Amino acid sequence: MTSIQDGNSTPTAAEAEKVQQLQADNLQLSQQRLALLQQNLALQRETTILHLINKLALQLNELMTEAAIYRFVAQQIAAALGFEDCAIFSCNEQEQTLQRVAAVGSRDVPEHQGIGQLKYGQGIVGLCARTKAPVLVADTRQSPHYLLDVSERLSELAVPVLDQGRLLAVIDCEQWEARFFDEHHQQILQHVASILSSRLRKLQDLAQLEQSIKKLEYAELVQKALFNIASLSYDATNFHAFYQQIHHNVNSLIYAPNFYIALYDDQEEILHFPYFADTTEHISPETIYPKEILSNSLTGYVFRSDKPLLADRQLLEEFDRTKEITAYGSPPESWLGVPFRSGDAVRGVVVVQSYEASVAYDQKDLELLTFVSHHISSALERVFVQQRLLHQALHDALTNLPNRILFIDRVNHAFKRRKRFPDKVVAVMYLDLDRFKMVNDTLGHQVGDEFLIAVGNALKSCLRQNDTLARLGGDEFAVLLEDVKTLADITEVADRIAEKLQIPLQLKQHRLQTSTSIGIAFADCLTEDIDTDELIRQADIAMYQAKQDGRGIWRLFCTEMDLETTKNYQLEQEVKTALQQQQFILHYQPIIDLATENTAGFEALIRWHHPSRGFIAPNDFIPLAEELGLMSQIDLYVVRTAVEQIQRWRFDYATEFYVSVNISGRSFSEIDFADKVLELLSTLGVPASYLAIEITERALIDKIGQAKISINNLRDAGVKVLLDDFGTGYSSLSYLHEFQLDVLKIDRTFIAGIRPRIQENPVVNTIITLAKTLHLKVIAEGIETSLQRKLLTELGCDAGQGYWFARPMPAREAVEWLK
């Protein structure tokens, strides 16, 4: 044993290994610390940015001059983002010039030094102003627009400050080194520009307001009235009193015996007048108008243009003569309307009008009413916010249609009305788009969303205004039909919808064909007690029946459907139980080498021996499992069972064989399918060459990219990949040559129809020739006669399976077959 105090002694293997492990641990710890440090730096950067934005948003409101605002913003940008300098140029759109109004860093110099003024298009700042778009120059040495300011900088970033498309200023930052700025910096400055724009707009609005108020001889009266409007407290249940108070205050400022407020709901696309006071006309607050009335009315003009309209009798007559705008009701002598906004949209118009020739509104009245409209908008903002929140809660975000909650509520209301009017019919349609998943899988979710919006619009065009169309989720829609009298009225709508969706829908870049399966259920005077949930459930059941009967059609609910649904539901639960209790077993059909008569392998076929029902054929539960999304679990169960069987067999059978397993397209298209199979083989210690995966042509086509990856990963590890049922699907060379496969399996339908002479079997001969050209082995399925076996051998088929050799057999019989 060596002493560790002996300087010439060498460490033992264990000591060396311990040192290496310690070094590895230290390296891993260093890497973890580095990662944490990087995360911390990124977090600090984000915190700094959020602090900047928050600080701007809060403190800018305290600054009351443009000069102070510009200076503060430039200082905060440079300090928070670590920029060498920052300058802000205000614009003069009339003269197309830019004036430096604030600067920090090297450009913080007197006005007569550096670049203090630019023209639109001059330099990078001028380019930004002309295009009204950000300009990011990674290397100014390569930019023809760069202008040398106080000192040379190698990178520059300019961002416009816009107010509804109008240029207010340009924020310009420069840096010593090239490629300093990136898109993240640009996004931050754009956000800062938005905050700056908002503050400048408010400041400008305030300046205009102050100027207008100074010009009013009755300033105290104006202030009092405006204060009353701004401080109105109103009961949400008594809006009429609230509007009445607004009218009273406006009337104290200008001539306003004829006064109304119009509101437009852009979600429901309706116009209404919650308050209307007029000496010659009357409109009830409950009266609603379609959006078409906005196309040529005076009120509609203000909505469309988002601008005030001041019109005298002469201008109104000119509008009427040219048919451009029509004044509904009694023609006024003078008309003044001003829009008010909520968020980004015009939500209302406040109007005063005069029928007296001696009373005409002027620019001063327009300015006053515009200011009043801001206060009206503020007072109504709470109402609009509540309406928006309620709308969002009750409508689908993508299509803007009512969602399930609102749909159920409207069906409930329909049933309540039915109690008062028993002869009324309440009908529900449940719609499911056919093959919508294919649109998502092949063209992507963005096109899928665009498609759903187009479908929603198409469905709305088939309904009346008092019908309700809702999106329940995914590709499922529902329709509530009220005030229908007979079954014929209901089926007429269903026919109209089915016919409408047979027409291809034109999207931005695609033209897509679809159809829908429709289930119908209704309650009339003969219907026994039924509630909302049951009516929707019945329509849902009828929809599934329509899908089973061929898609693109409608079916009316009947009790027989309910019994079938109950049966399917019971079967659904039993399939899940069968997976949990491992009731599924595998039978194995031998695959015979036609040249040597040796067993090349087996095809594993799933069987279900139900505890009480006995044998259930795969055709009776596999489609249901696919519909329920259980095929991935079943496929992995089959693979695991087959690999475990291989593990037990392979030491008892001298010649190497393989077991092939059929895999559904859904499982094969999963990103981690190949990894799961290879991990299972590794865990059980089974060589990959003992396993083969059988897939159909559809599995390849549905997701070509993922199919290639899965095939390559499996074959690289040694797993064989077989193309099953060839000839019954696409059977196209345009895709087949793209995949690296091992075996082509000829479907049994071609073998069953085989003719006695070779030249009489062109399809089989062509498939075999095609496979040989692509260097693939060929297996024929469904061989049942000696003639079929003999002709396939002569045609060059490599292997076959079928009742001529053996039926599928349990594992205990299959192992005897091997021996």
- Using one digit for the tens of pLDDT, what is the confidence trace for 265-285? 776 677 888 889 998 888 877
Question: Which pLDDT score is estimated for 699?
Answer: 73
Question: Which pLDDT score is estimated for 1?
Answer: 42
- Alpha-carbon distance values, 222 to 279, 301, 350 (Å): 25, 28, 17
Q: Report how far residue 505's alpha carbon sits from residue 455's, in angstroms, rounded to the nearest whole number.
A: 8
Question: Which pLDDT score is estimated for 2?
Answer: 44
Question: Which pLDDT score is estimated for 568?
Answer: 61
Which of 670, 775, 776 has the alpha carbon at shortest distance from 713? 670
Q: pLDDT tens digits, residue range 523-565?
A: 876 666 788 888 888 888 888 888 877 778 888 887 777 655 5
Residue of higher predicted confidence among 302 and 654: 302
Question: Which pLDDT score is estimated for 716?
Answer: 93
Is residue 518 within a helix (H) or strand (E), and if so which, with residue range?
Answer: strand 516-523
Q: pLDDT tens digits, residue range 28-39?
A: 777 767 666 666
Question: Which pLDDT score is estimated for 4?
Answer: 43
Which of 75, 67, 57 has the alpha carbon at shortest distance from 196? 57
Question: Which pLDDT score is estimated for 45?
Answer: 60
Q: What whole-number percentage of the chain has pLDDT above 90?
A: 31
Question: Which pLDDT score is estimated for 542?
Answer: 87
Task: Please give the mean pLDDT across all residues of the chain.
Answer: 84
Q: Report how far residue 480's alpha carbon sits from residue 112's, in angstroms, rounded to the nearest whole number.
A: 73
Rounded to two decimals, the pTM is 0.41
Please give the single-letter amino acid code of residue 79. A
Confidence of residue 5 (pLDDT cuts 50, 70, 90): very low
Question: Which pLDDT score is estimated for 64?
Answer: 86
Confidence of residue 119 (pLDDT cuts 50, 70, 90): very high
Q: pLDDT tens digits, residue range 216-270?
A: 556 677 777 777 776 665 544 466 777 888 888 888 888 999 999 988 877 667 7
List, in order, residues 6 or more apart from 142 with CB less than 8 Å away.
none
In the sheet with 155-163, reading across from the earlier edge strand, the strands are: 117-119, 97-104, 85-92, 166-175, 155-163, 135-137
Angle formed by the axes of helices 487-500 and 445-460, nearest 10°: 140
List, in order, residues 6 or more apart from 304 with CB less than 8 Å away.
294
Specify whether the CB–CB gap between 238 and 321 falls below 8 A. no
Specify whether the CB–CB gap between 241 and 235 falls below 8 A. yes
